[in-house]
A and B are shown apart, each in its own frame.
Chain A
Amino acid sequence: MSEILRVENLRKSYDGFLAVNGVSFAVAKGELKALIGPNGAGKSTCFNMLMGQLKPSAGEVYLDGQRITGKRPREIWRRGVGRTFQITGTYQSMSVIENVQMALMSHHKRIFSIAPRAWKLYRDEAMGFLDTVSMADQADRPCSVLAYGDLKRLELAIALCHRPRLLLMDEPTAGMAPSARIELMQLVADIVRDQGVSVLFTEHDMDVVFAHAHHIMVLNRGELIADGSATEVRNNPQVQEVYLGGGTLFKEDANA
Protein backbone atom coordinates (compact mmCIF):
# COMPACT_ATOMS: atom_id res chain seq x y z
CA MET A 1 0.00 0.00 0.00
CA SER A 2 1.55 3.31 -1.00
CA GLU A 3 1.53 6.39 1.12
CA ILE A 4 -0.24 9.64 0.35
CA LEU A 5 1.21 11.55 3.28
CA ARG A 6 4.43 11.02 5.15
CA VAL A 7 5.49 13.11 8.10
CA GLU A 8 8.99 12.93 9.49
CA ASN A 9 10.05 14.16 12.86
CA LEU A 10 7.77 17.18 12.86
CA ARG A 11 8.31 19.77 15.59
CA LYS A 12 6.76 23.03 16.60
CA SER A 13 7.75 25.20 19.48
CA TYR A 14 5.90 28.33 20.53
CA ASP A 15 8.38 30.56 22.31
CA GLY A 16 10.13 27.57 23.78
CA PHE A 17 6.97 25.61 24.53
CA LEU A 18 7.13 22.38 22.52
CA ALA A 19 3.59 21.86 21.24
CA VAL A 20 4.62 19.15 18.78
CA ASN A 21 7.75 17.24 19.57
CA GLY A 22 9.14 14.97 16.88
CA VAL A 23 6.11 13.34 15.33
CA SER A 24 6.49 10.85 12.46
CA PHE A 25 3.69 8.96 10.75
CA ALA A 26 2.23 8.08 7.38
CA VAL A 27 -1.22 7.96 5.89
CA ALA A 28 -1.86 5.33 3.23
CA LYS A 29 -3.84 5.95 0.07
CA GLY A 30 -7.50 5.35 0.66
CA GLU A 31 -7.11 5.30 4.41
CA LEU A 32 -9.37 6.94 6.98
CA LYS A 33 -7.08 7.73 9.85
CA ALA A 34 -7.81 9.40 13.15
CA LEU A 35 -5.46 11.50 15.23
CA ILE A 36 -6.73 11.69 18.77
CA GLY A 37 -5.32 12.93 22.02
CA PRO A 38 -6.00 15.14 25.04
CA ASN A 39 -6.75 18.82 24.73
CA GLY A 40 -3.65 20.73 23.93
CA ALA A 41 -1.79 17.65 22.75
CA GLY A 42 -0.85 19.41 19.52
CA LYS A 43 -3.36 17.99 17.04
CA SER A 44 -4.49 21.26 15.52
CA THR A 45 -0.90 22.45 15.52
CA CYS A 46 0.02 19.36 13.48
CA PHE A 47 -2.80 20.02 11.06
CA ASN A 48 -1.79 23.62 10.66
CA MET A 49 1.74 22.53 9.80
CA LEU A 50 0.53 19.95 7.31
CA MET A 51 -1.64 22.47 5.52
CA GLY A 52 0.82 25.36 5.67
CA GLN A 53 -0.98 27.66 8.12
CA LEU A 54 2.03 27.25 10.41
CA LYS A 55 5.68 26.74 9.57
CA PRO A 56 7.21 23.74 11.34
CA SER A 57 10.22 24.41 13.56
CA ALA A 58 11.75 21.22 12.21
CA GLY A 59 10.81 18.10 10.27
CA GLU A 60 9.49 17.30 6.84
CA VAL A 61 6.13 16.69 5.23
CA TYR A 62 5.77 14.75 1.97
CA LEU A 63 2.61 14.54 -0.09
CA ASP A 64 2.73 11.55 -2.40
CA GLY A 65 6.50 11.66 -2.32
CA GLN A 66 6.80 15.39 -2.97
CA ARG A 67 8.13 17.62 -0.25
CA ILE A 68 5.56 20.23 0.81
CA THR A 69 7.13 21.38 4.07
CA GLY A 70 6.53 25.05 4.75
CA LYS A 71 4.63 25.75 1.55
CA ARG A 72 1.69 28.13 1.61
CA PRO A 73 -1.84 26.84 2.17
CA ARG A 74 -2.95 27.62 -1.33
CA GLU A 75 0.00 25.80 -2.90
CA ILE A 76 -0.73 22.76 -0.78
CA TRP A 77 -4.37 23.06 -1.76
CA ARG A 78 -3.40 23.10 -5.41
CA ARG A 79 -1.56 19.84 -4.95
CA GLY A 80 -4.71 18.24 -3.70
CA VAL A 81 -5.11 18.72 0.03
CA GLY A 82 -8.41 19.98 1.35
CA ARG A 83 -9.19 20.83 4.94
CA THR A 84 -11.95 21.77 7.31
CA PHE A 85 -11.29 23.80 10.43
CA GLN A 86 -11.92 23.24 14.11
CA ILE A 87 -13.57 26.63 14.29
CA THR A 88 -15.50 26.93 11.06
CA GLY A 89 -14.50 29.44 8.44
CA THR A 90 -17.18 30.18 5.90
CA TYR A 91 -18.06 33.29 3.95
CA GLN A 92 -20.68 34.92 6.12
CA SER A 93 -21.92 37.41 3.58
CA MET A 94 -22.75 34.80 0.99
CA SER A 95 -25.49 32.26 0.67
CA VAL A 96 -24.75 28.60 1.23
CA ILE A 97 -24.49 27.75 -2.42
CA GLU A 98 -22.36 30.79 -3.15
CA ASN A 99 -19.85 29.51 -0.64
CA VAL A 100 -19.50 26.38 -2.70
CA GLN A 101 -19.54 28.31 -5.97
CA MET A 102 -16.69 30.40 -4.65
CA ALA A 103 -14.59 27.30 -4.08
CA LEU A 104 -15.49 26.05 -7.54
CA MET A 105 -14.50 29.36 -9.12
CA SER A 106 -11.15 28.92 -7.46
CA HIS A 107 -10.98 25.31 -8.64
CA HIS A 108 -11.73 26.36 -12.23
CA LYS A 109 -9.21 29.22 -11.98
CA ARG A 110 -11.79 31.94 -12.47
CA ILE A 111 -10.86 34.12 -9.50
CA PHE A 112 -9.67 37.04 -11.57
CA SER A 113 -12.39 37.00 -14.18
CA ILE A 114 -14.58 40.07 -14.16
CA ALA A 115 -17.03 39.38 -16.95
CA PRO A 116 -19.52 36.76 -15.78
CA ARG A 117 -22.07 37.00 -13.03
CA ALA A 118 -20.60 34.91 -10.25
CA TRP A 119 -23.88 33.57 -8.91
CA LYS A 120 -24.70 31.95 -12.23
CA LEU A 121 -21.40 30.10 -12.44
CA TYR A 122 -21.18 26.40 -11.63
CA ARG A 123 -24.52 26.43 -9.86
CA ASP A 124 -25.42 22.90 -10.83
CA GLU A 125 -22.03 21.56 -9.89
CA ALA A 126 -22.27 23.34 -6.55
CA MET A 127 -25.71 21.90 -5.98
CA GLY A 128 -24.20 18.48 -6.54
CA PHE A 129 -21.69 19.02 -3.76
CA LEU A 130 -24.38 20.36 -1.45
CA ASP A 131 -26.40 17.29 -2.22
CA THR A 132 -23.47 15.10 -1.19
CA VAL A 133 -23.55 16.68 2.27
CA SER A 134 -27.37 16.87 2.32
CA MET A 135 -27.48 20.63 2.37
CA ALA A 136 -29.24 21.10 -0.95
CA ASP A 137 -32.46 22.18 0.71
CA GLN A 138 -30.67 25.08 2.41
CA ALA A 139 -28.77 26.18 -0.68
CA ASP A 140 -30.16 29.68 -0.83
CA ARG A 141 -30.14 30.52 2.87
CA PRO A 142 -27.65 33.15 3.97
CA CYS A 143 -24.69 31.44 5.53
CA SER A 144 -24.90 33.69 8.59
CA VAL A 145 -28.08 32.03 9.92
CA LEU A 146 -26.97 28.41 9.67
CA ALA A 147 -26.88 26.18 12.71
CA TYR A 148 -23.37 25.18 13.73
CA GLY A 149 -23.61 21.62 12.52
CA ASP A 150 -24.75 22.76 9.13
CA LEU A 151 -21.77 25.05 8.86
CA LYS A 152 -19.55 22.04 9.37
CA ARG A 153 -21.19 20.20 6.53
CA LEU A 154 -20.93 23.24 4.32
CA GLU A 155 -17.23 23.37 5.04
CA LEU A 156 -16.89 19.78 3.97
CA ALA A 157 -18.63 20.57 0.69
CA ILE A 158 -16.23 23.45 0.15
CA ALA A 159 -13.24 21.23 0.82
CA LEU A 160 -14.48 18.65 -1.68
CA CYS A 161 -14.66 21.11 -4.56
CA HIS A 162 -11.05 20.72 -5.57
CA ARG A 163 -11.33 16.91 -5.65
CA PRO A 164 -8.67 16.56 -2.98
CA ARG A 165 -6.50 13.48 -2.71
CA LEU A 166 -6.11 14.06 0.97
CA LEU A 167 -8.63 15.61 3.29
CA LEU A 168 -7.61 17.00 6.68
CA MET A 169 -10.54 17.40 9.02
CA ASP A 170 -10.11 19.04 12.41
CA GLU A 171 -12.99 17.85 14.59
CA PRO A 172 -15.37 17.44 11.69
CA THR A 173 -18.40 16.48 13.74
CA ALA A 174 -17.98 18.83 16.68
CA GLY A 175 -21.22 20.57 17.54
CA MET A 176 -23.42 18.10 15.71
CA ALA A 177 -26.23 15.92 16.94
CA PRO A 178 -25.24 12.26 17.44
CA SER A 179 -27.19 11.05 14.45
CA ALA A 180 -25.77 13.79 12.27
CA ARG A 181 -22.26 12.82 13.37
CA ILE A 182 -22.75 9.24 12.31
CA GLU A 183 -24.28 10.42 9.04
CA LEU A 184 -21.45 12.80 8.31
CA MET A 185 -18.75 10.28 9.07
CA GLN A 186 -20.61 7.69 7.03
CA LEU A 187 -20.55 10.20 4.23
CA VAL A 188 -16.83 10.74 4.66
CA ALA A 189 -16.30 6.98 4.72
CA ASP A 190 -18.27 6.68 1.48
CA ILE A 191 -16.17 9.37 -0.13
CA VAL A 192 -13.04 7.55 0.96
CA ARG A 193 -14.32 4.32 -0.49
CA ASP A 194 -15.76 5.65 -3.75
CA GLN A 195 -13.29 8.34 -4.67
CA GLY A 196 -10.12 6.94 -3.20
CA VAL A 197 -9.61 10.03 -1.06
CA SER A 198 -7.52 9.64 2.06
CA VAL A 199 -8.67 11.33 5.24
CA LEU A 200 -6.84 12.33 8.36
CA PHE A 201 -9.11 13.65 11.08
CA THR A 202 -9.12 14.58 14.74
CA GLU A 203 -12.10 14.01 16.94
CA HIS A 204 -13.12 13.83 20.55
CA ASP A 205 -16.23 11.77 19.94
CA MET A 206 -15.07 8.21 20.43
CA ASP A 207 -18.24 6.75 18.97
CA VAL A 208 -17.28 8.32 15.70
CA VAL A 209 -13.62 7.42 15.91
CA PHE A 210 -14.06 3.77 16.82
CA ALA A 211 -16.83 3.29 14.31
CA HIS A 212 -15.04 4.73 11.30
CA ALA A 213 -11.31 5.09 11.59
CA HIS A 214 -9.23 2.40 9.92
CA HIS A 215 -6.29 3.34 12.08
CA ILE A 216 -5.90 5.55 15.10
CA MET A 217 -2.91 7.55 16.28
CA VAL A 218 -2.74 9.01 19.74
CA LEU A 219 -0.86 12.19 20.44
CA ASN A 220 0.00 13.23 23.97
CA ARG A 221 1.98 16.33 24.88
CA GLY A 222 3.32 16.60 21.38
CA GLU A 223 4.44 12.99 21.07
CA LEU A 224 2.81 9.96 19.47
CA ILE A 225 2.12 7.34 22.11
CA ALA A 226 0.16 4.87 20.01
CA ASP A 227 -0.58 4.08 16.38
CA GLY A 228 -2.73 1.10 15.52
CA SER A 229 -6.16 -0.39 15.13
CA ALA A 230 -9.15 0.62 17.22
CA THR A 231 -8.89 -2.35 19.54
CA GLU A 232 -5.17 -1.89 20.10
CA VAL A 233 -5.60 1.74 20.95
CA ARG A 234 -8.60 1.13 23.10
CA ASN A 235 -6.82 -1.43 25.21
CA ASN A 236 -3.63 0.55 25.56
CA PRO A 237 -3.43 1.45 29.26
CA GLN A 238 -1.49 4.65 28.67
CA VAL A 239 -4.10 5.87 26.21
CA GLN A 240 -6.82 5.02 28.67
CA GLU A 241 -5.12 6.97 31.37
CA VAL A 242 -4.34 10.15 29.48
CA TYR A 243 -7.30 10.26 27.18
CA LEU A 244 -10.07 7.69 27.15
CA GLY A 245 -10.78 7.57 30.84
CA GLY A 246 -13.14 4.94 32.19
CA GLY A 247 -15.05 4.72 28.96
CA THR A 248 -18.38 5.46 30.57
CA LEU A 249 -19.26 8.14 28.10
CA PHE A 250 -19.05 6.18 24.91
CA LYS A 251 -20.14 2.76 23.85
CA GLU A 252 -19.81 0.72 20.71
CA ASP A 253 -23.51 0.94 20.32
CA ALA A 254 -24.75 4.38 21.04
CA ASN A 255 -28.11 3.23 22.32
CA ALA A 256 -26.76 1.30 25.26
Chain B
Amino acid sequence: MLSVERIHSYYGKAHILNDLSFEVRRGEVVALLGRNGAGKSTTMKSVMQLLRPRQGQVTFQGRDLVGEPAFRVAKCGIGYVPEDRRIFTDLTVLENLEVGRQPRREDAPFWTQEQLFEIFPNLYERRANRGKHMSGGEQQMLTIARTLMGNPALLLLDEPSEGIAPVIVEQMAETIKTLKEEGLTVMISEQNLHFARAVADRAIIIEGGEKKFDGSFAELEAHPEIRDAYLSV
Protein backbone atom coordinates (compact mmCIF):
# COMPACT_ATOMS: atom_id res chain seq x y z
CA MET B 1 0.00 0.00 0.00
CA LEU B 2 2.76 2.41 0.98
CA SER B 3 6.22 1.89 -0.24
CA VAL B 4 9.15 4.04 0.67
CA GLU B 5 12.21 3.48 -1.44
CA ARG B 6 15.68 4.68 -0.59
CA ILE B 7 14.73 8.13 0.60
CA HIS B 8 17.19 10.73 1.82
CA SER B 9 15.80 13.62 3.82
CA TYR B 10 17.52 16.70 5.11
CA TYR B 11 16.85 19.59 7.41
CA GLY B 12 18.94 22.26 5.76
CA LYS B 13 22.23 20.50 5.35
CA ALA B 14 21.70 18.02 8.18
CA HIS B 15 21.27 14.61 6.61
CA ILE B 16 18.60 12.90 8.69
CA LEU B 17 17.22 9.96 6.71
CA ASN B 18 19.81 7.91 4.95
CA ASP B 19 18.68 5.54 2.25
CA LEU B 20 15.60 4.42 4.14
CA SER B 21 13.28 1.88 2.55
CA PHE B 22 10.28 0.02 3.90
CA GLU B 23 6.80 -1.07 2.99
CA VAL B 24 3.46 -1.01 4.70
CA ARG B 25 0.90 -3.52 3.49
CA ARG B 26 -2.82 -3.02 3.47
CA GLY B 27 -4.54 -3.82 6.73
CA GLU B 28 -1.35 -3.93 8.70
CA VAL B 29 -0.34 -2.10 11.86
CA VAL B 30 3.33 -1.24 11.80
CA ALA B 31 5.26 0.25 14.67
CA LEU B 32 8.17 2.54 13.93
CA LEU B 33 10.56 2.30 16.84
CA GLY B 34 13.79 4.00 17.70
CA ARG B 35 15.46 6.24 20.18
CA ASN B 36 14.95 9.95 20.55
CA GLY B 37 16.23 11.63 17.45
CA ALA B 38 16.38 8.42 15.44
CA GLY B 39 14.32 9.95 12.67
CA LYS B 40 10.84 8.55 13.30
CA SER B 41 9.05 11.85 13.01
CA THR B 42 11.18 12.79 10.05
CA THR B 43 10.09 9.61 8.31
CA MET B 44 6.45 10.49 8.81
CA LYS B 45 6.96 14.03 7.59
CA SER B 46 8.75 12.69 4.55
CA VAL B 47 5.81 10.45 3.70
CA MET B 48 3.43 13.35 4.20
CA GLN B 49 5.63 15.61 2.04
CA LEU B 50 5.82 18.14 4.83
CA LEU B 51 9.49 17.55 4.35
CA ARG B 52 10.46 16.76 0.78
CA PRO B 53 12.94 13.89 0.43
CA ARG B 54 15.84 14.97 -1.77
CA GLN B 55 16.17 11.50 -3.23
CA GLY B 56 14.11 8.37 -3.41
CA GLN B 57 10.48 7.49 -3.93
CA VAL B 58 7.36 7.38 -1.84
CA THR B 59 4.49 5.51 -3.50
CA PHE B 60 1.03 5.15 -2.09
CA GLN B 61 -1.41 2.86 -3.85
CA GLY B 62 0.70 3.06 -6.96
CA ARG B 63 0.92 6.82 -6.95
CA ASP B 64 4.19 8.66 -6.60
CA LEU B 65 3.93 11.23 -3.83
CA VAL B 66 7.29 12.94 -3.89
CA GLY B 67 6.84 16.58 -4.78
CA GLU B 68 3.08 16.64 -4.25
CA PRO B 69 1.76 19.28 -1.85
CA ALA B 70 0.72 17.92 1.53
CA PHE B 71 -2.99 18.49 0.95
CA ARG B 72 -2.94 16.19 -2.05
CA VAL B 73 -1.18 13.50 -0.04
CA ALA B 74 -3.95 13.81 2.52
CA LYS B 75 -6.58 13.61 -0.21
CA CYS B 76 -5.02 10.35 -1.39
CA GLY B 77 -6.05 8.92 1.94
CA ILE B 78 -3.14 9.39 4.31
CA GLY B 79 -4.00 10.84 7.68
CA TYR B 80 -1.26 12.34 9.79
CA VAL B 81 -1.17 12.98 13.53
CA PRO B 82 1.88 15.07 14.35
CA GLU B 83 3.77 14.58 17.59
CA ASP B 84 3.53 18.20 18.60
CA ARG B 85 -0.27 18.11 18.32
CA ARG B 86 -0.75 21.31 16.39
CA ILE B 87 -4.39 21.70 17.21
CA PHE B 88 -6.01 24.97 16.24
CA THR B 89 -5.93 26.69 19.58
CA ASP B 90 -8.43 29.40 18.73
CA LEU B 91 -11.05 27.03 17.37
CA THR B 92 -13.44 25.02 19.46
CA VAL B 93 -13.24 21.26 19.64
CA LEU B 94 -16.13 20.92 17.19
CA GLU B 95 -14.52 23.33 14.77
CA ASN B 96 -11.20 21.51 15.02
CA LEU B 97 -13.00 18.35 14.01
CA GLU B 98 -14.70 20.19 11.16
CA VAL B 99 -11.34 21.20 9.70
CA GLY B 100 -10.41 17.55 9.49
CA ARG B 101 -13.64 16.43 7.84
CA GLN B 102 -13.33 14.92 4.38
CA PRO B 103 -15.82 13.03 2.26
CA ARG B 104 -16.30 9.32 2.77
CA ARG B 105 -13.96 7.08 0.84
CA GLU B 106 -14.65 3.50 -0.17
CA ASP B 107 -11.39 1.95 0.82
CA ALA B 108 -11.47 3.23 4.38
CA PRO B 109 -13.67 3.19 7.47
CA PHE B 110 -16.07 6.07 7.80
CA TRP B 111 -16.12 8.16 10.96
CA THR B 112 -18.73 10.36 12.47
CA GLN B 113 -18.32 12.82 15.27
CA GLU B 114 -20.49 10.66 17.51
CA GLN B 115 -18.27 7.63 17.07
CA LEU B 116 -15.23 9.68 17.94
CA PHE B 117 -16.87 11.10 21.01
CA GLU B 118 -17.50 7.56 22.15
CA ILE B 119 -13.81 6.79 21.98
CA PHE B 120 -12.76 10.08 23.53
CA PRO B 121 -15.45 11.07 26.02
CA ASN B 122 -13.37 14.06 27.21
CA LEU B 123 -13.82 15.66 23.84
CA TYR B 124 -17.56 15.45 24.04
CA GLU B 125 -17.54 17.00 27.47
CA ARG B 126 -15.32 19.88 26.37
CA ARG B 127 -16.76 20.19 22.85
CA ALA B 128 -17.36 23.93 23.03
CA ASN B 129 -13.94 24.66 24.57
CA ARG B 130 -11.32 26.40 22.55
CA GLY B 131 -8.30 24.29 21.77
CA LYS B 132 -6.01 26.38 23.89
CA HIS B 133 -8.14 25.72 26.93
CA MET B 134 -7.69 21.97 26.74
CA SER B 135 -5.33 19.95 28.87
CA GLY B 136 -2.28 18.44 27.23
CA GLY B 137 -3.82 15.01 26.96
CA GLU B 138 -7.13 16.33 25.70
CA GLN B 139 -5.25 18.11 22.95
CA GLN B 140 -3.62 14.84 22.01
CA MET B 141 -7.01 13.15 21.78
CA LEU B 142 -8.29 15.97 19.66
CA THR B 143 -5.51 15.64 17.09
CA ILE B 144 -6.23 11.99 16.65
CA ALA B 145 -9.96 12.54 16.35
CA ARG B 146 -9.43 15.39 13.93
CA THR B 147 -7.35 13.23 11.64
CA LEU B 148 -9.85 10.38 11.77
CA MET B 149 -12.51 12.80 10.56
CA GLY B 150 -10.68 12.70 7.23
CA ASN B 151 -11.49 8.96 6.91
CA PRO B 152 -7.94 8.03 6.02
CA ALA B 153 -7.01 4.68 4.53
CA LEU B 154 -3.54 4.89 6.04
CA LEU B 155 -3.05 6.52 9.39
CA LEU B 156 0.32 7.88 10.48
CA LEU B 157 0.35 8.30 14.24
CA ASP B 158 3.36 10.03 15.72
CA GLU B 159 3.54 9.03 19.38
CA PRO B 160 -0.19 8.91 20.01
CA SER B 161 0.02 7.55 23.56
CA GLU B 162 2.20 10.38 24.71
CA GLY B 163 0.73 12.16 27.70
CA ILE B 164 -2.45 10.11 27.74
CA ALA B 165 -3.81 8.40 30.82
CA PRO B 166 -3.29 4.63 30.93
CA VAL B 167 -7.03 3.85 30.78
CA ILE B 168 -7.38 5.87 27.63
CA VAL B 169 -4.24 4.36 26.15
CA GLU B 170 -5.75 0.95 26.75
CA GLN B 171 -8.91 2.06 25.01
CA MET B 172 -6.86 3.50 22.22
CA ALA B 173 -5.09 0.17 21.79
CA GLU B 174 -8.51 -1.46 21.50
CA THR B 175 -9.58 1.19 19.04
CA ILE B 176 -6.56 0.66 16.86
CA LYS B 177 -7.27 -3.04 16.82
CA THR B 178 -10.85 -2.33 15.82
CA LEU B 179 -9.66 0.06 13.16
CA LYS B 180 -7.44 -2.61 11.81
CA GLU B 181 -10.33 -5.03 11.64
CA GLU B 182 -12.26 -2.47 9.68
CA GLY B 183 -9.48 -2.40 7.15
CA LEU B 184 -7.49 0.63 8.19
CA THR B 185 -3.76 0.53 7.80
CA VAL B 186 -1.77 2.16 10.57
CA MET B 187 1.78 3.19 11.10
CA ILE B 188 2.67 4.30 14.62
CA SER B 189 5.83 5.85 15.87
CA GLU B 190 6.18 4.83 19.48
CA GLN B 191 8.45 4.96 22.46
CA ASN B 192 6.03 3.00 24.60
CA LEU B 193 7.01 -0.56 23.79
CA HIS B 194 4.11 -2.06 25.75
CA PHE B 195 1.70 -0.13 23.65
CA ALA B 196 3.48 -0.86 20.40
CA ARG B 197 3.55 -4.56 21.17
CA ALA B 198 -0.11 -4.52 22.09
CA VAL B 199 -1.27 -3.09 18.80
CA ALA B 200 1.29 -3.69 16.08
CA ASP B 201 1.94 -6.70 13.86
CA ARG B 202 5.36 -5.68 12.82
CA ALA B 203 8.18 -3.49 14.06
CA ILE B 204 10.57 -1.35 12.07
CA ILE B 205 13.49 -0.06 14.05
CA ILE B 206 15.46 2.90 12.84
CA GLU B 207 18.56 4.47 14.24
CA GLY B 208 20.47 7.42 12.87
CA GLY B 209 18.05 7.58 9.94
CA GLU B 210 18.78 4.03 8.81
CA LYS B 211 16.68 0.91 9.08
CA LYS B 212 18.11 -1.57 11.55
CA PHE B 213 15.36 -4.11 11.90
CA ASP B 214 12.18 -5.05 10.14
CA GLY B 215 10.17 -7.99 11.39
CA SER B 216 7.54 -9.32 13.72
CA PHE B 217 7.57 -8.76 17.45
CA ALA B 218 8.20 -12.45 17.92
CA GLU B 219 11.41 -12.09 15.96
CA LEU B 220 12.30 -9.05 17.98
CA GLU B 221 11.76 -11.02 21.20
CA ALA B 222 14.01 -13.70 19.85
CA HIS B 223 16.84 -11.23 19.34
CA PRO B 224 17.17 -9.32 22.57
CA GLU B 225 20.52 -7.99 21.36
CA ILE B 226 18.76 -5.93 18.70
CA ARG B 227 16.38 -4.51 21.21
CA ASP B 228 19.20 -3.71 23.57
CA ALA B 229 21.24 -2.06 20.86
CA TYR B 230 18.58 0.19 19.37
CA LEU B 231 15.81 0.51 21.88
CA SER B 232 17.70 0.22 25.14
CA VAL B 233 14.62 -0.59 27.14
Please indicate whether A and B come from the same complex rather than being unrelated chains: yes
The 9 closest A-B pairs by CB, nearest first: A39-B137, A147-B37, A149-B36, A245-B167, A179-B232, A40-B135, A245-B170, A147-B36, A38-B165
Of A63-71, A103-111, A248-256, the one contacting chain B is A248-256
- Determine the chain B residues whose CB is within 8 A of the CB of A39 once the complex forms: 122, 135-138, 140-141, 163-165, 168
**Is there an interface contact between B166 and A180, defined as CB atoms closer than 8 Å?**
no
Asked if A225 CB lies within 8 Å of chain B CBs, one says no
**Is there an interface contact between B233 and A178, defined as CB atoms closer than 8 Å?**
yes
- Determine the chain B residues whose CB is within 8 A of the CB of A40 once the complex forms: 122, 126, 134-135, 137-138
**Is there an interface contact between A44 and B136, defined as CB atoms closer than 8 Å?**
yes
Number of B interface residues at 8 Å Cβ cutoff, please give it. 38
Which residue on B lies nearest to A183, using beta carbons? B232
- Determine the chain A residues whose CB is within 8 A of the CB of B141 once the complex forms: 39
Partner of B137, one of A148, A176, A204: A204
Asked if A31 CB lies within 8 Å of chain B CBs, one says no
Inter-chain CB contacts under 8 Å: number = 112
| Supplied contacts A39-B165, A40-B134, A178-B193, 6 more A-B pairs, CB within 8 Å | A39-B122, A39-B136, A148-B83, A179-B232, A204-B169, A250-B194
Task: Type the 1/0 row for A178-190, where 1 means its CB is closer than 8 Å to any CB of B.
Answer: 1110000000000
**Is there an interface contact between B138 and A255, defined as CB atoms closer than 8 Å?**
no
Task: Type the 1/0 row for A84-104, where 1 means its CB is closer than 8 Å to any CB of B.
Answer: 001100000000000000000
**Is there an interface contact between B231 and A177, defined as CB atoms closer than 8 Å?**
yes
Task: Type the 1/0 row for B193-208, where 1 means its CB is closer than 8 Å to any CB of A.
Answer: 1110010000000000
* Contacts A40-B134, A40-B137, A40-B138; A148 near B36 (Cβ below 8 A): yes
- Determine the chain B residues whose CB is within 8 A of the CB of A243 once the complex forms: 165-167
Which residue on A lies nearest to B228, using beta carbons? A179
On A, residues with C-beta under 8 Å from B are 14, 37-41, 43-45, 86-87, 145-150, 171, 174-180, 204-206, 241-251, 254-255
* 19 A-B contact pairs sorted by A residue (CB < 8 Å): A39-B136, A39-B164, A40-B137, A40-B138, A44-B135, A87-B136, A146-B37, A149-B37, A171-B136, A174-B162, A178-B192, A178-B233, A243-B165, A244-B167, A245-B166, A245-B167, A248-B198, A249-B198, A250-B166
* Contacts A39-B164, A178-B233; A14 near B36 (Cβ below 8 A): no
Asked if B14 CB lies within 8 Å of chain A CBs, one says yes
Task: Type the 1/0 row for B104-129, where 1 means its CB is closer than 8 Å to any CB of A.
Answer: 00000000000000000010001000
**Is there an interface contact between B166 and A175, defined as CB atoms closer than 8 Å?**
no
Q: Among residues 50 to 86 in chain B, which have CB atoms less than 8 Å away from a CB atom of chain A?
A: 83-84
**Is there an interface contact between A249 and B195, defined as CB atoms closer than 8 Å?**
yes
User: From residue A190, how far is it (CB to closest CB) to chain B in Å?
Assistant: 19
**Is there an interface contact between B163 and A174, defined as CB atoms closer than 8 Å?**
yes
User: From residue A54, how far is it (CB to closest CB) to chain B in Å?
Assistant: 12
User: From residue A210, how far is it (CB to closest CB) to chain B in Å?
Assistant: 11
**Is there an interface contact between B36 and A176, defined as CB atoms closer than 8 Å?**
yes
- Tell which of A171, A178, A179, A204 has the most Cβ of chain B within 10 Å: A204
Partner of A244, one of B11, B122, B166, B231: B166
Q: Among residues 3 to 26 in chain B, which have CB atoms less than 8 Å away from a CB atom of chain A?
A: 11, 14
Tell me, in angstroms, the Cα distance from A41 to B198 when the chains sit together.
26
User: From residue B193, how far is it (CB to closest CB) to chain A in Å?
Assistant: 6
**Is there an interface contact between A177 and B232, defined as CB atoms closer than 8 Å?**
yes
Which residue on B lies nearest to A181, using beta carbons? B191
